């Protein structure tokens, strides 16, 4: 039981690594446990993927490189790459800077359905 709690605690405490950790953790669970865990956290992962695709679409529509967008919004290029790939959650402050840069609504950058 403590093992499941540890997995849950780690998933919730480190948003930038949830997807990787979830995939790694599923290997050590029974099929039923893995299915239940994936269903519980799958929505969160798809939210990050949706946000990343939206950011990628905004960036490419403006013909900006990852490096150029990162420079304009004061972020590291790797952060932009990880958000676009769905591996990382976007902070509110970064979402605000990106929304300002693209003159768009902040909601979709924070995972609101659009």
State the CATH number of the domain containing residue 26. Answer: 1.10.260.40
Instruction: Compute CA 66 distance to the chain's CA centroid, rounded to the nearest angstrom.
Output: 16
Q: Is the pTM of this model over 0.75?
A: no
DSSP 109: G
The total number of structural domains in the chain stands at 1
Spatial distance between the Cα atoms of 53 and 104, rounded to a whole number of angstroms: 15
Tokens of 28: 């050590």
pLDDT at 38: 63
pLDDT by residue for the chain (114 residues), tens only, comes to 445 455 556 555 555 555 666 666 666 667 677 667 666 665 555 667 788 888 999 999 999 999 999 999 999 999 999 888 887 888 899 999 999 999 999 888 887 744
Spatial distance between the Cα atoms of 94 and 90, rounded to a whole number of angstroms: 7
Spatial distance between the Cα atoms of 7 and 37, rounded to a whole number of angstroms: 10
Residue 82 belongs to what domain range? 2-110
């Amino acid at each position: 039981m403590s093992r499941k709690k540890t997995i849950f605690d780690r998933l919730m405490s480190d948003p930038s690594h949830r997807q990787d950790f979830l995939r790694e953790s599923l290997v050590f669970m029974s099929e039923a446990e893995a299915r239940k865990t994936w269903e519980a956290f799958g929505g969160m992962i798809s939210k990050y993927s949706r946000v990343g695709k939206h950011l990628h679409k905004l960036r490419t529509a403006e013909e900006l490189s990852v490096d150029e967008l990162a420079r304009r919004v004061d972020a590291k290029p790797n952060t932009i790459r990880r958000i676009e790939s769905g591996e990382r959650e976007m902070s509110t402050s970064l979402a605000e800077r990106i929304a300002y840069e693209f003159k768009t609504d902040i909601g979709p950058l924070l995972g609101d359905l659009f």
